[in-house]
């Protein structure tokens, strides 16, 4: 269940209470407009009581469920509705504040709750046009019917528009945040798994030597005539030998690693190996063309999960939009490594090529585009650069550049 911080609601309500108190004192004693002073003050004091109760609840739990948050926002909406009823209805300049709970709901709560709150707000606006205590302005003052109708329509449209806009904006922000959190979690899990693998490899190495010694001694014991005369001893030695062999096999399995790295903090890996692993992971009967320059000797880099994950997202995208082939060029220079990934698809759309790497922007303006967004963030956070462009024959190209010092070449 999603939760909303109760402290935020308390702060917003204190601001609203302060504004309401200031407004009724200003209107009553400075402008000297007659309003039901004690009735309005009582409704504001009710809001103060609710806020003190909220403060007490916050001491036990900083966050509350969506249902409780909705109930608080509903109270705020009804409280403001009663205040407007006592102070002139929708002609009260503060009637626009009825939008505040709707905006808060759209930003934090599910769509259904926002729709319900928006509907209640609209009903209150309509009712306040017909049922309210008019302000005693000392002279005849009234709004033309056409203006009154326009004001109601504007408020209703504004409620609907802001609710939809705020919900979509907040939803987009939540999705971006979730995507980044998931990628960070995956990288963290990968690091933990590799650390476990490294410990296993180290343990296998350390235990391998004494096991080999045991194995050799058991072989020597089987050659001793005095011992072999006793069938029970021979049987026990053979059993020990078989168990030692079994332990050896288990340790060999522990020492194996998908990247053939016994300790990724000490040993290195070729970028071409990372590309092949990612291509095999996402490939759907398509071809990989890999070119390395210079071809005689490819340097190795310190393995980093961020590079693995970023390359995976870009290669997956290239495979998705390619017709049959994904091409990767690795160019090693004195101080820079260039990784150029291209496909034989239709190329980047002109409408989105300058926006690629932003959230929700994909190659052809279809789909979520969060994979490229995450890859770009990972590469740039490491100190690398990434560019998107179309080749001379209008094929999509992604070029990644790393300084050799970043990759520890």
Out of 33-47, 132-146, 240-254, 302-316, least confident range: 132-146
pLDDT in tens, 55-107: 887 776 666 778 888 999 999 999 999 999 998 888 777 788 888 888 888 77
For residue 9, pLDDT over 60 is answered with yes
Q: Distance between CA 142 and CA 310 in Å, rounded?
A: 65
Q: Which helix (H) or strand (E) holds 317?
A: helix 305-321
Helices (H) and strands (E) in the chain, counts: 12, 9
What value does the mean pLDDT of the chain take?
77
Q: What is the pLDDT of residue 263?
A: 43
Q: What is the pLDDT of residue 25?
A: 87
Which is nearest to 345 in space by CA: 316, 364, 323? 323
For the chain, the 3-state helix, strand and coil shares in percent, each to the nearest 5, are 65, 10, 25
By DSSP bridging, strand 3-5 and strand 63-65 are antiparallel
Q: Which helix (H) or strand (E) holds 177?
A: helix 145-223
Tokens of residue 148, six digits: 């009154």
pLDDT tier, 399 (very low <50, low <70, confident <90, very high otherwise): very high
DSSP secondary structure letters along 13-46:
HHHHHHHHHHHHHIIIIII--B--HHHHHHHHHH
Q: Distance between CA 163 and CA 55 in Å, rounded?
A: 27
Q: For residue 204, how far is the Cα from the chain centroid?
A: 38
Tokens of residue 372, six digits: 């490229």
What is the Rg, in whole angstroms, of the alpha carbon atoms belonging to the chain?
Answer: 35
Torsions phi, psi of 303, nearest 5? Answer: -65, 130
For residue 260, pLDDT over 80 is answered with no
Angle between helices 6-25 and 66-86 (to 10 degrees): 10
pLDDT tier, 142 (very low <50, low <70, confident <90, very high otherwise): low
> Is pTM beyond 0.85 here?
no
| CATH code for the structural domain at 268-407 | 3.30.565.10
Q: Which helix (H) or strand (E) holds 386?
A: strand 385-390
Which is nearest to 307 in space by CA: 409, 165, 222? 409
Domain boundaries, the chain: 3-142, 195-255, 268-407
Q: What is the pLDDT of residue 20?
A: 84
């Amino acid at each position: 269940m999603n939760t909303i911080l109760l402290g935020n609601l308390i702060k917003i309500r204190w601001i609203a209470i302060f504004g309401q108190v200031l407004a009724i004192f200003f209107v009553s004693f400075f402008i000297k407009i007659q309003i039901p002073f004690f009735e309005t003050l009582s409704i504001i004091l009710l809001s103060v009581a609710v806020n003190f109760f909220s403060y007490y609840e916050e001491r036990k739990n900083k966050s509350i469920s969506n249902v409780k948050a909705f109930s608080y926002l509903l109270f705020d909406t009804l409280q403001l509705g009663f205040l407007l009823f006592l102070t002139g209805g929708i002609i009260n300049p503060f009637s626009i504040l009825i939008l505040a709970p709707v905006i808060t709901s759209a930003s934090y709560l599910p769509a259904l709750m926002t729709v319900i709150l928006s509907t209640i707000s609209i009903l209150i606006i309509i009712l306040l046009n017909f049922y309210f205590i008019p302000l005693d302005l000392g002279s005849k003052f009234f709004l033309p019917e056409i203006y009154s109708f326009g004001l109601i329509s504007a408020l209703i449209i504004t409620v609907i528009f802001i609710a939809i806009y705020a919900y979509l904006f907040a939803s987009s922000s939540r999705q971006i945040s979730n995507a980044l959190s998931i990628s960070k979690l995956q990288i963290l899990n990968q690091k933990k798994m590799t650390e476990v693998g490294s410990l296993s490899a180290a343990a296998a190495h350390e235990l391998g030597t004494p096991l080999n010694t045991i194995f050799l001694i058991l072989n020597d014991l089987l050659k001793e005539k005095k011992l072999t005369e006793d069938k029970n001893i021979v049987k026990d030695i053979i059993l020990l030998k078989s168990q030692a062999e079994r332990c050896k096999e288990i340790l060999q399995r522990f020492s194996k690693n998908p990247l053939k790295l016994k300790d990724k903090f000490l040993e290195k890996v070729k970028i071409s190996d990372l590309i092949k692993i990612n291509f095999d992971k996402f490939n759907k009967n398509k071809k990989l063309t890999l070119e390395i320059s210079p071809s005689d000797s490819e340097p190795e880099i310190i393995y980093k999960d961020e590079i693995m994950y970023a390359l995976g997202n870009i290669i997956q995208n290239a495979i998705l939009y390619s017709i049959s082939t994904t091409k990767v060029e690795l160019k090693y220079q004195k101080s820079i490594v260039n990784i150029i990934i291209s496909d034989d698809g239709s190329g980047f759309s002109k409408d989105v090529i300058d926006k690629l790497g932003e959230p929700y922007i994909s190659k052809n303006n279809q789909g979520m585009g969060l994979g490229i967004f995450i890859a770009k963030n990972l590469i740039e956070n490491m100190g690398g650069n990434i560019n998107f462009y179309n080749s001379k024959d209008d094929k999509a190209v992604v070029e990644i550049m790393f300084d050799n010092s970043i990759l520890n070449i």
